[in-house]
C-alpha cells in the first residue's frame, strides 16, 4: 500500500460542482505534476461536505486545513505555499462573519460544533467512487455481521431497539416497518429506497447518495436479509444525475466485490439492487405513488390499506425506507440499537440531518442529536441571523410544515415537540426567516408549491389548494375581503381531513400555522391592505420604509 | 370467507372480510353518496364524496376504499361528514361550467343529483377553471373536458374492462385532463368508439355525437325517401327513456313511435341479422369443409372489429368477411329495396337506430358503399332516438303497438338474440345444425352460450362433427381468447365476440344508467322477445328465402360478395380511417 504525505480532499457535491470544483481540482493536480509531487500527495474527490455556501471547498490533510471559495487561480497558491512549503494560505481560510476570526482547521468550524454524524458519517470524507475507502471505514462490516452471526429476527430486534424513525417525513418506526414486511405473507419481497427528495432546499439524501452511496446499498442488503427480500430498487429523481452516476458505479463495485448479487460473502444470501430514475414529481416521494412510478404507471398515491408492507411493488410485500434512514442502519447494526437510542429524546431517538437555509449565516446540511434546542441550531451551528437582523420564525418541514415563532426558540427538536407547535420534523427542512420576510407571501409560495405538485387525483388537493392559493393571491394583491380568513380556515380544515394522501393532508399546514402565529400580519393584509414586512408589492408605500433607519417613507 | 363485525351508525353489521364500508353500509340501508366509485372497476377513492367518520382514524375515510374491520365504528351522517361532502361538491362545482339546461346530461347527471340532494344553493369558492378544447374529432364520441370532474371512471372502463386504454389522465394537478394523449385527439387514437366511457360518465364530459338534426332535416325534405332500421337490442332499452322498467320489450310501441316521426318505412335490423346468419353460417361451413382458417370470428360488432384491427391485425383472417347486420341492411336498402319500391337510391336516406356509438364510425367507413352510395347515412343511438321522440311529444307508453314494414321488417327470434352476448352464436348454431343435419332441433335454446360470464365455451354435436365454440363479451375478455388463439391454445371452430359487456344491450349508445343489473334485465327482455316469435331460426325467415330467390341467388354467391361482405384494415396505434 502506498502512503502519501498529504491528502487533498476536494468537495465534489453537486453545489461545489456547480461552482467549479472540477476545474479547481484539475488545477491542483496540474500544480502537483509541475512540482513532481504525485508520489507524495493524493487528490481525492469527495461527496458533499455540507457547507455548500463556502464552496468550492478544499481540505488538506493530515492537518485538516480547510480552504473556502477556492478559485482556479488559487490552486497554484495552495500547491506552491501549502503543499510545497508547508505554509497555510491565510486568505483562503474561513472567516466567521460575526467575530471576524479566521478558522484554520475544518474541525474547529463553529458550524461543526454540536454536530453528531451518523447518517452523514462518510460524506465529504471518502471518495464515493472507491469502495475500498468505504470498506476501510468499517463499510460492509455490518452486512458481514448480520449475514454471519445474526438471524433476521435479531436484526429486526436491534432495529426496533434503536428507535430509529423514518427520516422521510412521516417518522414511522423503522424497526416496526421491517417487522411488518418480514411477517407479510409472500415469497417474493422487495426493498425500495426512496430517494425522491423533493422539498425545496433539502438535499441530505442527494448528499448521502453522492458522497456515500455504499452506506445505502449496504443497508438495503441488510434490510433485504431481515425482511426476506432478494431484490432492491433505488428510486432517484432525474434531477440528481450525479447521485445516479455514483450509485451506478457503487452498485457495480459492490457486485464485483461479491457484496451484492448471488451468495453474498459465501453465506447463500442473494441480493440485487436496481436503480429507477423518477421524473421529479414531489408526490412520488409518497410511498404508494413511488411504487406506481417504479411499476411504470402514473405517479399517484392510492388509498392505504393495503400498506406496501403487505401489498407493495407489483402487489408483493415491500419495505420502503428513505436514504437518510437507510444510511443510519449500518452503524446501528455495528454499535447496537442501544447506542443509537442513547442519543435523542425518549420518543425521538438518534440523530437527524437538517438542511439549514434562509436568513442565517451558515447554511448547509447539519446532523444533530434529536432533542437539541432549536436555538443551538440557529445560533451555535448556524452562526445567527444574517446581517444581525431580528429572527422572526423558523419554518420547519418546508411547504408542508409550519412555523416555529421566535418565542419558541428553545423548543426541543423532536417529533413530539414540533407536532405540539403545529409543525413537523418532516424531511428536515429548516428555513430561517427574519423581520423582512412577509409570512403571508411565504405561505403563498408554499401553497403554490403544493398546488403545482398536486397529482390531481383527489378533489380536496386538486381544487382545494387552487382555491386556497387564489385567496392568498388576492390578499397579497391587496384585494382581500371580509370573510377571506374564515374561508381559508374552513378550506384548510377540509383539505386536512379529506385529502387522499399525506401530502394533500399536509398542504394546508403552513396556512394553519400562519393563522395560529401570525394572524395579525394576515389581518393587516386583508383589513388594512398593508404588508408589515414591505414585501407584498401592492401593499406598501416605499420599499425603504423598513430597510432604512427611521422608517422613512 | 372470514366475517367481520362492525358498527355503522349504531347498527351492528356482519360482512365478509374485504367488504368496503360503502358496501357494508348498504346492508343497514344506508346509501353513502358516490361519484368516482364504480364497483370492481373504479375503486380509487378520488372524489372524496363518500367520506365517513371512523372512530380512531386521524382523518375522514373514503367509504368506497376503506375495508370493513372487526370492531370498526363508523358514522356516516355527522356534521363533519356533511360539511366535508358539501365542500367537496362546492369545490367540484366551483370548477364546473354552470350549463345544466344545455347539457346533454341535464336531469340525468350524478353531480347535479348530488347538488340537489345536498341543497347546494351557493358555491362559496370561485376562481380559475381550466379551459380545454372540446374534442369533436371522432365521428362517434365527443369529449368536453371542461365538464369532467376527473372521477376516472371512463379511463378505468377503457383500461380495465375494454383493455384499450385510449384515454387516461394527462397533465398534473389542477391541469389534469382525461385525454387520449398529450395534444392528441380521439380520432387519432386507438379508441374503438365503444362508448363504455359515455355510459359511466357521471356528468356530460363525454357523450355521443348527436346526429338527430341530420335526420330531422331528411324527414323534412320531400325529396327524400327516409327508411329506418332498428337494432335488436334497442327494443328492450328504449322504454327506459320513458320510465319503463329496464328490459321491457317495447317493440310495438317503438315501431309506432318511429313511424309517427315521419319515416317512410320502418324496417328491422333483425331482418339483416337473419341474413347475416345465412351468410356467416355458410362461411363457417365452407371454412370447415374446405380447410379454411379457423376459428372463424364474428364481425357484427364494429367496436370489436376496430379493436382487432388495432391490436391483433395478424388475426384478421379469422374474422368473418360478413358485414354487420347494419351494413348488410344498408347495402340492400339502396339496391334490392330501391329496385323493389321503385325509388331512386340517390333519394333514399337510410337511418339506423343502434345501441352503439361505434356504429356511427362503421357507417362512415369508406368501404361501406356497396350500393354506390354511403349505405347507411346516419346511425343514431337509442338515446338520440329517445330525444327525438320526446321532442315530437310522442306519448310512447300509451301508443298502440304497430308492426314493421315489409319486406325488410320480417325477422325471427334468432335475429333478436343478436342483441345479447351469445346470441349470434346461438342463432348460428340453430341454423347450421339444421342445414348440416337436415334434422329439426328438439330445443332451439343453447343455454351454455347465454349469460354474463366473461368467456363461455360449448361443444355442439352437428352431425359427425363436434363443433367447438366460444363466446366473449367485453374486449378484455375478447383479448383473453385472442391471446389463447395466438398461443395456439384455442381449438375452436367459431368464436363470437361482442365489444360491450353483456353484448349490444350494454352498448355505448343505450340509455344511461346502464349497469350490471340493468344489463341483466335487458338480456332477460331479449330472450322474452325471442320466445314470443313464431319463427326462431334464421333460415326459416320467409323474407330471407324470398330475397335469395329473387335477388341474391344463394349465400356466398356473387351478389352476396358484392353487397354483404367486406374486408378489414390493419391499423397501427394511431387511427387510419
Shortest Cα distance, chain A CAs vs residue B124, angstroms? 8
Residue A548 lies in a domain: no
Distance CA B496, CA B426 (A): 10
State yes or no: pLDDT of B193 exceeds 50. yes
pLDDT for A552 equals 41
Residue A65 lies in a domain: yes
Q: Which of B48, B94, B173 sits opposite A456 (nearest CB)?
A: B173
Cis, peptide link before residue B361, omega less than 30° from 0? no
Distance CA B499, CA B220 (A): 35
Interchain CB contact of A288 with B (< 8 Å): no
Interchain CB contact of A164 with B (< 8 Å): no
User: Is B304 within 8 Å of B445 (Cβ atoms)?
Assistant: no
Cell of A465: 389548494
Judged by phi (left if over 0) then psi (alpha if -120 to 50, else beta), residue A261 lies in: left
Shortest Cα distance, chain A CAs vs residue B57, angstroms? 10
- Residue B393 DSSP one-character state: T
Distance CA B301, CA B312 (A): 16
**% of residues, chain A, pLDDT over 70:** 97
Instruction: Determine which one of B301, B320, B352, B411 is catalytic.
Output: B320
Residues A267, A390 within the same domain: no
Banded pLDDT at A1 (limits 50, 70, 90): low
User: Is A367 within 8 Å of A120 (Cβ atoms)?
Assistant: yes
Give me the CATH number covering residue A449: 1.20.1440.230
Provide the residue range defining the domain that includes A390: 351-434
Q: Mean pLDDT for chain A?
A: 94
Banded pLDDT at A484 (limits 50, 70, 90): very high
Structurally, chain A folds into a number of domains equal to: 4
Strands B206-208 and B141-143: antiparallel
Q: What distances in angstroms separate CA A98 from CA A324, A379, A392, A393, one per listed residue? A: 32, 11, 19, 20
Distance CA A250, CA B537 (A): 74
A462 contacts B174? CB cut-off 8 A: yes
For residue A5, what is the enclosing H or E element? none
3-state secondary structure A247-293: HHHHHHHHHHCCCCEEEECCCCEEEEEEEEEECCCHHHHCHHHHHHH
Shortest Cα distance, chain B CAs vs residue A306, angstroms? 9
Of A48, A165, A164, A114, the C-alpha closest to A369 is A114
Say whether B280 is catalytic: yes
Residue ranges in A35-173 assigned as alpha helix (H): 72-77, 85, 131-136, 141-149, 152-162
pLDDT for B254 equals 98
Interchain CB contact of A262 with B (< 8 Å): no
Give strand pairing partners of A357.
Answer: A431
Residues A243, A316 within the same domain: yes
Q: Residue A283 contacts by C-beta under 8 Å, 6 or more apart in sequence?
A: A289, A299, A300, A301, A453, A454, A455, A501, A503
Identify the closest residue of chain A to B170 by CA–CA distance.
Answer: A298
Here the ipTM equals 0.94
Distance CA B175, CA B178 (A): 10
Cell of B7: 358498527
User: Is B481 within 8 Å of B453 (Cβ atoms)?
Assistant: no
Residues A176, A296 within the same domain: yes
**Mind listing the pLDDT tens digit for each residue in A319-337?**
999 999 999 999 999 999 9
Residues A285, A425 within the same domain: no
Of B115, B93, B117, the C-alpha closest to B31 is B117
Say whether B362 is catalytic: yes
Geometric angle at alpha carbon B383, from B380 and B386, rounded to 5°:
100
Distance CA B90, CA B85 (A): 9
pLDDT for B183 equals 80
pLDDT for A99 equals 82
Residue A502 lies in a domain: yes
Residue A212 lies in a domain: yes
Average pLDDT over residues A95-108: 88
Banded pLDDT at A553 (limits 50, 70, 90): very low
pLDDT for A543 equals 52
Give strand pairing partners of B16.
Answer: B3
Three-state DSSP at A159 gives: helix
Q: Residue B106 contacts by C-beta under 8 Å, 6 or more apart in sequence?
A: B100, B112, B204
Could you state, in order of their start, the residue ranges of all structural domains in chain B?
3-77, 124-208, 212-564
Which of A412, A434, A456 delimits the end of a domain?
A434
Average pLDDT over residues A25-52: 93
**Mind listing the pLDDT tens digit for each residue in A53-89?**
888 999 999 999 999 999 999 999 999 999 999 999 9
State yes or no: pLDDT of B576 exceeds 90. no
Q: Per this entry, what is the length of chain B?
A: 577
Which of A47, A82, A111 delimits the end of a domain?
A111
Average pLDDT over residues B161-177: 95
From chain B residues 57-76, the ones with a CB under 8 A of any chain A CB are: 59-60, 62, 65-67
Identify the closest residue of chain A to B20 by CA–CA distance.
Answer: A305
Fold of B124-208: Alpha-Beta Plaits (3.30.70)
A458 contacts B173? CB cut-off 8 A: no
Interchain CB contact of B170 with A (< 8 Å): no
Q: Which of A454, A487, A496 sits opposite B124 (nearest CB)?
A: A487
Count of pairs with CB atoms under 8 A, one residue in A, one in B: 97
B175 contacts A451? CB cut-off 8 A: no
pLDDT for A541 equals 60
Distance CA B534, CA B338 (A): 28
Beta strands in A283-336 (DSSP E): 318-322
CATH number of B212-564: 3.40.50.1780
User: Is B52 within 8 Å of B21 (Cβ atoms)?
Assistant: yes
Helix %, strand %, coil % of chain B (to 5): 40, 15, 45
Three-state DSSP at A64 gives: coil
Cα four-point dihedral sign B439, B443, B444, B445: negative
User: Is A394 within 8 Å of A502 (Cβ atoms)?
Assistant: no
User: Is B158 within 8 Å of B508 (Cβ atoms)?
Assistant: no
pLDDT for A549 equals 46
Give me the CATH number covering residue A209: 3.40.50.11540
Give me the CATH number covering residue A42: 3.40.30.10
Instruction: Determine which one of B359, B360, B456, B521 is catalytic.
Output: B359
Shortest Cα distance, chain B CAs vs residue A326, angstroms? 28
Banded pLDDT at A39 (limits 50, 70, 90): very high
Interchain CB contact of B284 with A (< 8 Å): no
Q: Residue A25 contacts by C-beta under 8 Å, 6 or more apart in sequence?
A: A10, A12, A43, A45
Fold of B3-77: Ubiquitin-like (UB roll) (3.10.20)
Residue A544 lies in a domain: no
Distance CA B68, CA A4 (A): 67
Residues A359, A382 within the same domain: yes
User: Is B271 within 8 Å of B409 (Cβ atoms)?
Assistant: yes
User: Is B153 within 8 Å of B74 (Cβ atoms)?
Assistant: no
Residues A356, A383 within the same domain: yes
Distance CA A302, CA B371 (A): 54
**Mind listing the pLDDT tens digit for each residue in A264-321?**
999 999 999 999 999 878 999 999 999 999 999 999 999 999 999 999 999 999 999 9
User: Is B144 within 8 Å of B206 (Cβ atoms)?
Assistant: yes
Interchain CB contact of A500 with B (< 8 Å): yes
- Residue A407 DSSP one-character state: G
Which of A111, A140, A163 delimits the end of a domain?
A111
B-chain CB neighbours of A466 within 8 Å are: 95, 127-128, 174
Distance CA B81, CA A258 (A): 57
Residues A68, A197 within the same domain: no
Residue A551 lies in a domain: no
Q: Residue A189 contacts by C-beta under 8 Å, 6 or more apart in sequence?
A: A181, A227, A228, A229, A230, A231, A316, A317, A318, A319
**Mind listing the pLDDT tens digit for each residue in A530-545?**
999 999 987 776 555 5
Banded pLDDT at A50 (limits 50, 70, 90): confident
B66 contacts A487? CB cut-off 8 A: no
B-chain CB neighbours of A451 within 8 Å are: 173-174
End-to-end CA distance of chain B: 51
3-state secondary structure B283-314: HHHHHHHCCCCCCEECCCCHHHHHHHHHHCHH
Give strand pairing partners of A46.
Answer: A11
Identify the closest residue of chain A to B174 by CA–CA distance.
Answer: A462
Shortest Cα distance, chain B CAs vs residue A463, angstroms? 6
Strands A261-264 and A318-322: unpaired
Shortest Cα distance, chain A CAs vs residue B22, angstroms? 15
State yes or no: pLDDT of B418 exceeds 70. yes
State yes or no: pLDDT of B61 exceeds 50. yes
Q: Mean pLDDT for chain B?
A: 96
Banded pLDDT at B130 (limits 50, 70, 90): confident
- Residue B66 DSSP one-character state: P
The residue of B19, B20, B173 whose CB has the most chain A CBs within 10 angstroms, and thus the best one to mutate to test that interface, is: B173
Interchain CB contact of A154 with B (< 8 Å): no
B80 contacts A466? CB cut-off 8 A: no
Average pLDDT over residues B271-278: 98
User: Is A118 within 8 Å of A351 (Cβ atoms)?
Assistant: yes
B84 contacts A498? CB cut-off 8 A: yes
Amino acid at each position: 500500500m502506498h502512503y502519501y504525505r498529504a491528502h487533498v480532499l476536494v468537495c465534489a457535491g453537486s453545489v461545489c460542482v456547480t461552482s467549479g470544483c472540477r476545474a479547481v481540482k484539475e488545477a491542483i493536480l496540474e500544480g502537483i505534476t509541475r512540482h513532481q509531487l504525485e508520489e507524495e500527495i493524493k487528490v481525492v474527490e469527495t461527496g458533499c461536505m455540507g457547507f455548500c455556501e463556502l464552496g468550492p471547498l478544499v481540505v488538506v490533510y493530515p492537518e485538516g486545513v480547510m480552504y473556502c471559495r477556492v478559485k482556479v487561480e488559487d490552486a497554484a497558491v495552495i500547491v506552491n505555499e501549502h503543499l510545497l512549503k508547508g505554509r497555510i494560505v491565510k486568505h483562503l481560510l474561513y472567516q466567521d462573519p460575526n467575530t471576524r476570526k479566521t478558522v484554520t482547521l475544518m474541525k474547529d468550524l463553529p458550524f461543526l460544533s454540536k454536530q453528531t454524524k451518523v447518517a452523514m458519517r462518510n460524506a465529504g470524507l471518502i471518495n464515493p467512487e472507491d469502495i475500498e475507502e468505504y470498506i476501510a471505514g468499517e463499510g460492509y462490516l455490518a452486512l458481514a455481521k448480520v449475514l454471519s452471526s445474526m438471524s433476521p429476527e435479531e436484526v429486526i430486534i436491534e432495529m426496533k431497539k434503536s428507535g430509529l424513525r423514518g427520516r422521510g417525513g412521516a417518522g414511522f418506526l423503522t424497526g416496526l416497518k421491517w417487522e411488518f414486511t418480514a411477517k407479510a405473507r409472500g415469497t417474493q419481497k422487495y426493498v425500495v429506497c426512496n430517494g425522491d427528495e423533493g422539498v425545496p432546499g433539502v438535499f441530505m439524501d442527494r448528499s448521502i447518495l453522492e458522497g456515500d452511496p455504499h452506506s445505502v446499498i449496504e443497508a438495503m442488503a441488510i434490510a433485504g436479509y431481515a425482511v426476506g427480500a432478494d431484490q432492491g430498487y433505488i428510486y432517484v429523481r432525474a434531477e440528481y444525475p450525479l447521485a445516479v452516476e455514483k450509485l451506478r458505479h457503487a452498485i457495480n463495485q459492490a457486485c464485483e466485490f461479491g457484496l451484492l448479487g448471488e451468495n453474498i460473502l459465501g453465506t447463500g444470501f442473494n441480493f440485487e439492487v436496481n436503480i429507477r430514475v423518477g421524473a421529479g414529481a414531489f408526490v412520488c416521494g409518497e410511498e404508494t405513488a413511488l411504487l406506481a412510478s417504479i411499476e411504470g404507471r402514473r405517479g399517484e398515491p392510492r388509498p392505504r390499506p393495503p400498506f406496501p408492507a403487505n401489498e407493495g411493488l407489483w402487489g408483493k410485500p415491500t419495505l420502503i425506507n428513505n436514504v437518510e434512514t437507510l444510511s443510519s442502519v449500518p452503524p446501528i447494526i455495528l454499535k447496537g440499537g442501544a447506542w443509537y437510542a442513547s442519543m435523542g429524546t425518549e420518543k425521538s431517538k438518534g440523530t437527524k440531518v437538517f438542511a439549514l437555509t434562509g436568513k442565517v449565516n451558515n447554511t448547509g446540511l447539519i446532523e444533530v442529536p434529536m432533542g437539541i434546542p432549536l436555538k443551538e441550531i440557529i445560533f451555535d451551528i448556524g452562526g445567527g441571523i444574517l446581517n444581525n437582523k431580528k429572527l422572526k420564525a423558523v419554518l420547519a418541514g418546508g411547504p408542508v410544515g409550519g412555523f416555529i415563532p421566535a418565542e419558541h426558540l428553545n423548543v426541543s427538536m423532536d417529533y413530539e415537540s414540533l407536532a405540539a407547535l403545529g409543525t413537523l420534523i418532516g424531511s428536515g427542512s429548516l428555513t430561517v426567516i427574519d423581520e423582512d420576510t412577509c409570512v403571508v407571501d411565504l405561505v403563498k409560495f408554499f401553497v403554490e408549491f403544493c398546488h403545482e405538485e398536486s397529482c390531481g387525483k383527489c378533489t380536496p388537493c386538486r381544487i382545494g389548494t387552487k382555491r386556497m392559493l387564489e385567496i392568498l393571491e388576492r390578499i397579497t394583491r391587496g384585494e382581500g375581503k371580509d370573510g377571506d380568513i374564515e374561508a381559508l380556515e374552513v378550506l384548510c380544515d377540509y383539505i386536512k381531513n379529506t385529502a387522499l394522501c399525506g401530502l394533500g393532508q399536509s398542504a394546508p399546514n403552513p396556512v394553519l400555522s400562519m393563522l395560529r402565529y401570525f394572524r395579525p400580519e394576515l389581518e393587516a393584509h386583508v383589513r388594512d391592505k398593508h404588508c408589515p414586512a414591505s414585501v407584498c408589492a401592492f401593499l406598501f408605500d416605499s420599499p425603504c420604509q423598513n430597510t432604512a433607519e427611521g422608517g422613512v417613507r | 370467507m372470514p366475517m367481520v363485525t362492525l358498527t355503522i351508525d349504531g347498527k351492528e353489521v356482519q360482512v365478509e372480510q374485504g367488504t368496503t364500508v360503502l358496501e357494508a353500509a348498504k346492508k343497514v340501508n344506508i346509501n353513502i353518496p358516490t361519484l368516482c366509485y364504480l364497483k370492481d372497476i373504479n375503486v380509487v377513492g378520488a372524489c372524496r364524496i363518500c367520506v365517513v367518520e371512523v372512530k380512531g382514524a386521524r382523518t375522514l375515510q373514503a367509504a368506497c376504499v376503506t375495508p370493513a374491520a372487526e370492531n370498526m365504528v363508523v358514522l356516516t351522517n355527522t356534521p363533519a361528514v356533511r360539511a366535508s361532502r358539501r365542500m367537496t361538491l362546492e369545490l367540484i362545482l366551483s370548477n364546473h361550467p354552470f350549463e345544466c339546461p344545455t347539457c346533454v346530461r341535464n336531469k340525468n347527471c350524478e353531480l347535479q343529483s348530488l347538488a340537489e340532494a345536498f341543497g347546494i344553493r351557493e358555491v362559496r369558492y370561485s376562481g380559475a377553471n381550466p379551459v380545454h378544447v372540446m374534442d369533436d374529432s371522432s365521428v362517434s364520441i365527443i369529449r368536453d373536458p371542461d365538464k369532467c370532474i376527473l372521477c376516472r371512471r371512463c379511463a378505468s372502463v377503457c383500461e380495465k374492462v375494454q383493455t384499450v386504454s385510449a384515454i387516461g389522465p394527462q397533465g398534473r394537478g389542477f391541469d389534469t385532463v382525461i385525454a387520449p394523449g398529450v395534444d392528441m385527439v380521439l380520432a387519432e387514437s386507438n379508441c374503438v368508439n365503444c362508448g363504455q366511457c359515455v355510459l359511466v360518465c357521471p356528468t356530460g364530459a363525454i357523450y355521443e355525437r348527436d346526429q338527430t338534426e341530420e335526420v330531422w332535416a331528411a324527414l323534412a325534405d320531400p325529396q327524400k325517401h327516409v327508411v329506418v332500421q332498428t337494432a335488436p337490442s334497442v327494443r328492450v332499452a328504449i322504454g327506459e327513456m320513458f320510465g319503463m322498467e329496464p328490459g321491457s320489450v317495447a317493440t310495438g310501441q317503438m315501431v309506432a313511435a318511429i313511424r309517427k316521426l315521419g319515416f317512410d318505412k320502418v324496417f328491422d335490423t333483425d331482418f339483416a341479422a337473419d341474413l347475416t346468419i345465412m351468410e356467416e353460417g355458410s362461411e363457417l361451413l365452407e371454412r370447415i369443409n374446405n380447410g379454411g382458417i379457423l376459428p372463424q370470428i364474428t364481425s357484427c360488432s364494429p367496436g370489436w372489429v376496430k379493436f382487432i384491427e388495432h391490436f391483433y391485425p395478424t388475426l384478421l383472417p379469422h374474422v368473418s368477411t360478413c358485414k354487420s347486420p347494419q351494413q348488410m341492411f344498408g347495402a340492400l336498402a339502396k339496391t334490392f329495396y330501391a329496385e323493389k319500391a321503385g325509388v331512386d337510391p340517390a333519394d333514399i336516406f337510410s337511418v339506423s337506430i343502434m345501441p352503439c356509438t361505434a356504429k356511427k364510425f362503421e357507417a362512415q367507413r369508406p368501404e361501406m358503399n356497396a350500393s354506390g352510395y354511403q349505405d347507411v347515412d346516419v346511425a343514431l343511438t337509442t338515446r338520440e332516438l329517445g330525444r327525438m321522440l320526446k321532442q315530437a311529444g310522442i306519448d310512447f307508453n300509451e301508443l298502440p303497438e304497430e308492426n314493421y314494414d315489409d319486406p325488410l321488417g320480417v325477422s325471427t327470434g334468432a335475429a333478436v338474440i343478436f342483441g345479447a352476448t351469445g346470441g349470434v352464436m346461438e342463432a348460428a348454431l340453430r341454423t347450421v345444425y339444421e342445414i348440416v343435419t337436415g334434422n329439426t332441433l328438439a330445443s332451439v335454446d343453447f343455454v351454455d352460450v347465454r349469460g354474463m360470464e366473461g368467456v363461455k365455451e360449448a361443444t355442439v354435436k352437428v352431425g359427425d362433427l363436434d363443433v367447438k365454440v366460444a363466446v366473449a363479451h367485453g374486449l378484455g375478455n375478447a383479448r383473453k381468447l385472442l391471446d389463447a388463439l395466438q398461443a395456439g391454445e384455442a381449438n375452436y371452430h367459431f368464436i363470437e365476440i361482442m365489444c360491450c359487456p353483456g353484448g349490444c344491450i350494454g352498448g355505448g349508445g343505450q340509455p344511461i344508467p346502464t349497469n350490471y343489473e340493468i344489463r341483466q334485465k335487458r338480456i332477460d327482455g331479449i330472450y322474452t322477445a325471442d320466445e314470443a316469435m313464431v319463427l326462431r331460426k334464421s333460415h326459416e325467415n320467409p323474407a330471407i328465402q324470398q330475397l335469395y330467390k329473387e335477388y341474391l341467388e344463394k349465400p356466398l354467391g356473387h351478389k352476396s360478395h358484392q353487397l354483404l361482405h367486406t374486408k378489414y384494415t390493419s391499423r397501427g396505434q394511431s387511427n387510419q380511417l
